Amino acid sequence: MTAPIRVAVTGAAGQIGYSLLFRIASGQVFGPDQPVILHLVEIPPAMSALDGVEMELDDCAFPTLAGVVKADSDHLEDGFADCNYVLCVGSVPRGKGMERSDLIRINGPIFTSTGQAISSAAASDVRVLVVGNPCNTNCLIAMNNAPNVPNDRWYAMTMLDQNRAISQLAQKSGQPVSEVTNMTIWGNHSATQYPDFYNAKIDGKPATEVITDEAWLQGEFISTVQKRGAAIIQARGASSAASAANGIIDTVKAIANPTAAGATFSAAVCSDGSYGVDEGLISSFPLTSDGKNWSIVQGQSHNEFAQAKIDATVAELKEERDTVKDLLK
């Protein structure tokens, strides 16, 4: 029998958790022959809601779900024990009147203890995807507090942004989404992110040859992608959850499987200094995976417009890093 994969999800009783867990448990992520044990982590007041989620998982009778482990955030090591993937979704949401820097300071301590617990309890091959915002800097904090986990195992999610950008380009060009490739999000998962349409392709051709309205690409396209999260909150009265869960699934699959020749995917990883991004920052790049390890795709060129956008988002990441420097080892 195939040994089960253990997947921890923090914030498991939240909105994203509710869209995510059932897809993982059903075999959509790791395939129909791979058993999965879900480790569900929540804060103590949410453990009763988590019991309800567990009952619903039971009631799906998924053949691929080999077990459920529950732990509260006071017992993180139990939650992460022997886990091969840790999906850090839980975090305190941004409240009214709260500045981004306030949010960073509130969530920072959550991610020091998360990093420490992953480091001491997770499986030796663990891979960690941080989704809870501000995800790049939360990931930076956790990585810096996890001495036993190599830096190339840490990811912050920009796949949802990539998917949003692909969808916008497909709609504008009248092509199916499957024809839009090499769409990279650079930098921070925030309103400064840069969706790089210059290196994207539509139907195998440069996107700028297919969509010749460069003013739209430089203006409305970028701002639609950057502000999509806020537009969804405005329309739905709640932040994106199903599409965020889908982004998580796409990211795990992109990490766990070799990337097709010529293709790329976006995730924020620990910079090795490529493209002038400070070494050690968790910044989004064009990546490929061999099924285990990622590489940053080299040799993409950026014109003055693009470079200014990348510089701006990297500058924001540096500011965030400075805000939490006391939490970094």
Binding site for ligand NAI (CB under 6 A): 10-11, 13-17, 41-43, 46, 73, 89-93, 110, 131-133, 135, 157, 160, 189, 239-241, 244, 247
Q: Smallest distance, Å, CB 270 to ligand NAI?
A: 17
For 234: left if phi > 0, alpha if psi spans -120 to 50, otherwise beta; the answer is: alpha
If residue 71 lies in a helix (H) or strand (E), which one and from where to where?
Answer: strand 65-72
Per the annotation, does 17 bind a ligand? yes
The DSSP code for 196 is E
Per the annotation, does 15 bind a ligand? yes
Reduced to 3 states (helix: H, G, I; strand: E, B; else coil), residue 16 is helix
User: In terms of CB distance, is 68 or 160 closer to ligand NAI?
Assistant: 160
CB 195 within 8 A of CB 224: no
Q: Give the Cβ contact number of residue 227 at 10 Å.
A: 12
User: In terms of CB distance, is 202 or 225 closer to ligand NAI?
Assistant: 225
Q: Smallest distance, Å, CB 161 to ligand NAI?
A: 6
Per the annotation, does 276 bind a ligand? no
Active-site residue numbers? Answer: 189
Q: Smallest distance, Å, CB 232 to ligand NAI?
A: 9
User: In terms of CB distance, is 25 or 210 closer to ligand NAI?
Assistant: 25
Per the annotation, does 107 bind a ligand? yes
The CA-based diameter of the chain, rounded to the nearest angstrom, is 56
Per the annotation, does 133 bind a ligand? yes
Q: Smallest distance, Å, CB 140 to ligand NAI?
A: 14
User: In terms of CB distance, is 159 or 202 closer to ligand NAI?
Assistant: 159
CB 71 within 8 A of CB 79: yes
- According to DSSP H, which parts of the chain are helical? 15-25, 47-60, 76-80, 100-121, 135-144, 159-173, 207-210, 214-216, 222-226, 228-236, 242-256, 304-323
Give binding residues as ranges.
11-17, 94, 100, 107, 131-133, 164
Give binding residues for substrate as ranges.
94, 100, 133, 164
